[in-house]
């Protein structure tokens, strides 16, 4: 691809057509410039790295063709399910969504559901199973949770379709079981966050003992925009940051940066992206250099009484969500509007 064509595609990515899938993807946290790399990948590389991101790649391809980019001539129609010689249309086996890898005394759990690392029920169950099995293994002294693939952020949250009345009870039960597993983990847990960390994944990061983030990471709870609220954050966030700021995040859906999260005490360390891994390593060594047994005892002492308060609060938050929120038309309207790509019409 020559420089002129690259510039045209970058312009499309930076200024997507209003109301397009590209605009929605950008607003929800996808770093679309990463997809430009796919145009310079070999077919094997595209298949390996981008197979799960097919819908967004097809949207990018189709929009670029409609803008008349010569770089895309002869590529086939966007609606045909092909991308750069049929790669997007190729059959791709479902990938493992959660990868567990032990590096010395550190267990790394990596979420790999590009482009947004969205959690559906199957992934929530897979994550919980691997977390509970692997975190207890001999020699594990720290568990790190990260994102993988070409996703632009840690994660954009849980699957929207699992929030409707029919599926919500099961999703809440499974997701809150995962939160409890992380919150009461037998080993210290560290969330490494860069890019967007939204909704359920912000709740999961909060459940970790520690968070190290890039300065430009974005933490947010957008559920209110869909006619809902985040039960775990409603109980946990006011205990981690000042209540008024917690209310602001939950009731407005406004995001905060990694730097702001650090200033509020939500995040333990922040660093510029090029320095993030170095900062993680420093923090990691500060934990690994201590006695595992003494760390476990200290964690128990710090959290005396908090477990009972959290469980009581979460039970009531779940009841409000299931018995009151989901009975409202506004809750259904918010979810339908999001899936139909329109503004919700809340009627109270």
Considering the candidates 194, 203, 279, 318, report the single residue annotated as catalytic. Answer: 203
**Secondary structure (DSSP) of 206-226:** HHSSEEEEETT-EEE-GGGGG
What is the β-pairing status of strands 210-214 and 269-271?
A: parallel
Strands 98-103 and 106-111: antiparallel
Tell me how far apart the alpha carbons of residues 213 and 280 are, in angstroms, rounded to a whole number.
9
C-alpha distances in Å from residue 91, one per residue of 21, 42, 85, 306: 23, 16, 13, 49
- Whether 243 is a known active-site residue: answer no
203 is catalytic: yes
Catalytic residue among 144, 194, 223, 260: 223
**H helix intervals, 241-275:** 243-252, 258-264
What residues contact 347, with CB distance under 8 A and at least 6 apart? 329, 330, 333
Query: Cα 269 vs. chain centroid, distance in angstroms?
Result: 19
> Cα angle at 343 between 342 and 345, to 5 degrees?
125
Catalytic residue numbers read 203, 223
């Amino acid at each position: 691809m020559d420089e002129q064509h690259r510039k045209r595609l970058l312009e499309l990515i930076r200024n997507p057509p209003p109301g397009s899938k590209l605009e929605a993807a950008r607003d929800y946290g996808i770093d679309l410039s990463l997809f430009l790399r796919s145009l310079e990948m070999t077919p094997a590389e595209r298949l390996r790295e981008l197979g799960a991101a097919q819908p967004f790649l097809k949207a990018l391809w189709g929009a670029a063709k409609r803008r008349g980019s010569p770089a895309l001539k002869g590529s086939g129609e966007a609606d045909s399910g092909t991308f750069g010689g049929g790669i997007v249309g190729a059959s791709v086996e479902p990938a493992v969504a959660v990868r567990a890898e032990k590096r010395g005394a550190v267990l790394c759990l990596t979420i790999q559901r590009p482009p947004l690392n969205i959690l559906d029920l199957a992934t929530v169950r897979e994550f919980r199973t691997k977390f509970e099995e692997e975190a207890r293994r001999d020699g594990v002294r720290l568990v790190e949770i990260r994102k993988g693939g070409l996703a632009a952020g840690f994660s954009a949250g849980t699957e929207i379709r699992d929030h409707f009345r029919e599926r919500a009870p099961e999703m809440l039960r499974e997701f809150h079981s995962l939160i409890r597993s992380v919150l009461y983990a037998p080993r210290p847990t560290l969330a490494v966050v860069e890019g967007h960390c939204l909704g359920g994944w912000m709740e999961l990061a909060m459940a970790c003992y520690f968070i190290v983030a890039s300065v430009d990471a974005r933490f947010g709870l957008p559920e209110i925009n869909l006619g809902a609220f985040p039960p775990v954050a409603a109980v946990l966030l006011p205990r981690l940051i000042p209540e008024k700021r917690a209310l602001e995040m939950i009731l407005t859906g406004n995001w905060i940066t990694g730097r702001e999260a650090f200033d509020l005490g939500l995040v333990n360390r922040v660093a510029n992206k090029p320095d993030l891994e170095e900062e993680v390593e420093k923090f990691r060594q500060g934990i690994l250099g201590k006695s595992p047994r003494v760390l476990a005892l200290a964690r128990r002492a710090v959290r005396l009484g908090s477990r009972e308060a959290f469980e009581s609060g979460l039970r009531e938050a779940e009841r409000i969500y299931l018995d009151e929120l989901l009975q409202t038309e506004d809750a259904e309207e918010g979810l339908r509007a999001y899936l139909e790509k329109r503004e919700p019409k809340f009627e109270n």
